[in-house]
């Protein structure tokens, strides 16, 4: 017998976060548990350890929502090459074995975060919109008819794989061209190489006036603004909501996006910051769990 609470789990590249909540929590998490994961740990081991920890939070949840990096398709996680053992892992099967007949909903972390924004945040009431995640990686979630679009293979919005010139190396070559230019990880790598010491993307934005750093940031933000403008021209959204860890530098990033979108898009949307910056995928997992109990309560369904 369940105890009326739901369980949310977010599998990240270096950590796993989980929390309980009730149907009346309105986007607020209960007890939160965080586990650090080691690159040397096998993916199955990470999942099993996480599920063991989840039992200490709640013995019998009413439902479970799970967000994960990559794309879940055909019973396996795909497009997750950066974490050993994760690409191709049968995560849905492992969850079924753990939770049995308890409803379990699973989705990509960025799409999950968009669900949180739809239910409680900056996308609430939006019919056509975009959630843009700027973090270690780069991706969007597209919203049409007030719901997140999965795409034919669950990979709608994976703008990391966009190309900018004909014949450019892409997915088949093991590349994610756009992410390699714009993401937090890309900026950190390029900045570290240019400065000769390890730096993060956040470090670079605090050094914006440094003549070595400024061209890197200008190039990245110009590319990002072009990508967002092209997405807006394609989808014609009413609102673009920007979240992710790089939003700590929103005062550098958002003006450039707004200017480019205003200059190039026939009907420019509103560009705004997400309500949820920290724990957005975990809150998205909560939204997934609540949706599986009563989808009619979710305005995005």
Q: Using one digit for the tens of pLDDT, what is the confidence trace for 173-191?
A: 999 999 999 999 999 999 9
pLDDT band at 284 (very low <50, low <70, confident <90, very high): very high
Q: Is 76:91 a contact under the CB 8 Å cutoff? A: yes
DSSP state of 40: T
Distance of alpha carbon 9 from the chain centroid = 14
Domain ranges of the chain: 6-113+279-297, 126-273
Q: What is the pLDDT of residue 1?
A: 54
Q: What is the pLDDT of residue 14?
A: 80
Q: What is the pLDDT of residue 39?
A: 57
Per the structure block, which two tokens stand in for 207?
A: 């050094």
Give the other-Cβ count within 10 Å of 172's Cβ.
Answer: 6
Query: Residue 103: helix, strand or coil by DSSP?
Result: coil
6-113+279-297 against 126-273: fold identical: yes
pLDDT band at 295 (very low <50, low <70, confident <90, very high): low
pLDDT higher at 33 or 61? 61
- Please determine, for residue 130, whether its predicted confidence score (pLDDT) is greater than 90: yes
Of all helices (H) and strands (E), which one includes residue 139?
strand 138-144
Angle (nearest 5°) at CA 117 between 115 and 121? 150
Angle (nearest 5°) at CA 247 between 266 and 35? 135
Query: Residue 130: helix, strand or coil by DSSP?
Result: strand
CATH of 6-113+279-297, one of 3.30.1330.50, 3.40.50.620, 3.30.420.40, 3.40.50.300: 3.30.420.40
Query: Residue 195: helix, strand or coil by DSSP?
Result: helix
pLDDT band at 301 (very low <50, low <70, confident <90, very high): very low
Which residue is associated with the tokens 């440094």?
210
- Please determine, for residue 279, whether its predicted confidence score (pLDDT) is greater than 50: yes
Q: Is 115:129 a contact under the CB 8 Å cutoff? A: no
Give the C-alpha separation, 198 to 9, whole Å: 31
Give the other-Cβ count within 10 Å of 22's Cβ.
Answer: 14
pTM: 0.92
The pLDDT mean for the chain works out to 91
Three-class HEC string of 206-235: HCCCCCCCHHHHHHHHHHHHHHHHHHHHHH
Average pLDDT (280-296) is 85
Q: Which residues contact 197 (CB under 8 A, 6 or more apart)?
A: none
First to last CA, the chain: 27
Sign of the Cα pseudo-torsion (152, 131, 16, 220, in order) = positive
Superfamily of domain 126-273: ATPase, nucleotide binding domain (3.30.420.40)
C-alpha distances out from residue 70 to 32, 75, 119, 231, Å = 23, 12, 22, 21
pLDDT band at 85 (very low <50, low <70, confident <90, very high): confident
Give the C-alpha separation, 225 to 242, whole Å: 12
Give the C-alpha separation, 163 to 170, whole Å: 7
- Compute the half-sphere exposure of residue 83: CA atoms within 13 Å on the CB side of its CA: 26
* pLDDT tens readout for residues 203-249: 999 999 999 999 999 999 999 999 999 999 999 999 999 999 999 89
């Amino acid at each position: 017998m369940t105890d009326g609470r739901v369980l949310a789990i977010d599998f990240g590249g270096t950590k796993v976060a989980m929390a309980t909540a009730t149907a009346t929590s309105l986007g607020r998490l209960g007890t939160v548990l965080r586990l650090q994961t080691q690159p040397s740990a096998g993916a199955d081991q990470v999942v099993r350890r996480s599920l063991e920890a989840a039992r200490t939070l709640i013995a019998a949840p009413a439902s479970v929502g799970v967000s994960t990096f990559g794309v879940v398709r055909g019973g396996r996680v795909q497009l997750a090459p950066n974490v050993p053992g994760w690409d191709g892992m049968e995560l849905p099967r492992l969850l079924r074995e753990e939770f049995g007949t308890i409803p379990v909903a699973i989705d990509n972390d960025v799409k999950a975060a968009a669900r949180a924004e739809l239910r409680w945040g900056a996308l609430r009431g939006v019919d056509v919109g975009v959630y843009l995640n700027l973090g270690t990686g780069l991706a969007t979630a597209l919203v049409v008819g007030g719901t997140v679009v999965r795409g034919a293979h669950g990979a709608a919005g994976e703008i990391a794989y966009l190309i900018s010139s004909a014949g450019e190396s892409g997915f088949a070559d093991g590349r994610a061209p756009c992410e390699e230019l714009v993401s937090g990880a890309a900026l950190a790598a390029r900045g570290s190489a240019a400065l000769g010491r390890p730096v993060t993307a956040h470090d670079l934005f605090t050094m914006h006036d440094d003549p070595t750093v400024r061209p890197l940031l200008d190039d990245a933000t110009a590319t990002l603004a072009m990508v967002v403008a092209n997405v807006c021209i394609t989808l014609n959204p009413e609102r673009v909501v920007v979240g992710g860890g790089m939003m700590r530098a929103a005062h550098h990033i958002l003006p450039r996006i707004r200017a480019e979108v205003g200059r190039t898009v026939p009907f420019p949307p509103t560009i705004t910051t997400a309500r949820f910056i920290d724990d957005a995928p975990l809150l998205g997992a909560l939204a997934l769990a609540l949706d599986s109990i009563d989808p009619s309560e979710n305005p995005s369904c």
